[in-house]
């Protein structure tokens, strides 16, 4: 299966269980891998035969920068659900939400959650 990869998209959101996270917000990074057949798009050089990744980016931004969630698992689920609902040609989506400023009492590089969802 072919893929479109949106890697390390940066957004500012207010997700977390702690009140400080909800008030101050923090930077989140999102990776999305969209699995679909890109043969027709490549052969015809036609945007209508693929998924407009700028549009996907904008919709992911609206989720991450929108309604707060307690868990980044919920943010990932919202993104995956939106992708499968809005883009019928995508058969599988992998989403990783990174929270590099998670409130952990010690040194770490990143915390992330990755999910994969498929059509029916």
Residue 25, judged by CB atoms within 10 A of its CB (0-12, 13-18, 19+), counts as: middle
**Residue of 15, 78, 98, 99 with catalytic role:** 99
Please name the residues in contact with 66: beta carbons below 8 A apart, sequence gap of 6 or more.
Answer: 13
CB-neighbour burial class of residue 113 (10 A; exposed 0-12, middle 13-18, buried 19+): middle
Whether 59 sits among the annotated catalytic residues: the reply is no
At residue 117, the 3 state secondary structure works out as strand
CB 63 within 8 A of CB 82: yes
Q: Is 97 helix (H, G, I), strand (E, B) or coil?
A: strand
**3-state SS assignment for residue 86:** helix
Catalytic positions, written as ranges = 99
């Amino acid at each position: 299966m072919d893929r479109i990869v949106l890697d390390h998209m940066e957004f500012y959101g207010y997700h977390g269980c702690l009140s400080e996270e909800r008030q101050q917000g923090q930077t989140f990074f999102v990776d999305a891998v969209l699995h679909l057949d890109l043969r027709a798009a490549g052969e015809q050089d036609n945007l209508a035969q693929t998924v407009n990744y700028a549009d996907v980016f904008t919709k992911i931004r609206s989720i991450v920068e929108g309604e707060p969630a307690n868990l980044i698992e919920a943010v990932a689920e919202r993104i995956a659900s939106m992708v499968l609902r809005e883009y019928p040609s995508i058969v599988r989506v992998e989403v990783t939400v990174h929270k590099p400023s998670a409130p952990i009492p010690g040194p770490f590089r990143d915390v992330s959650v990755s999910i994969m969802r498929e059509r029916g």
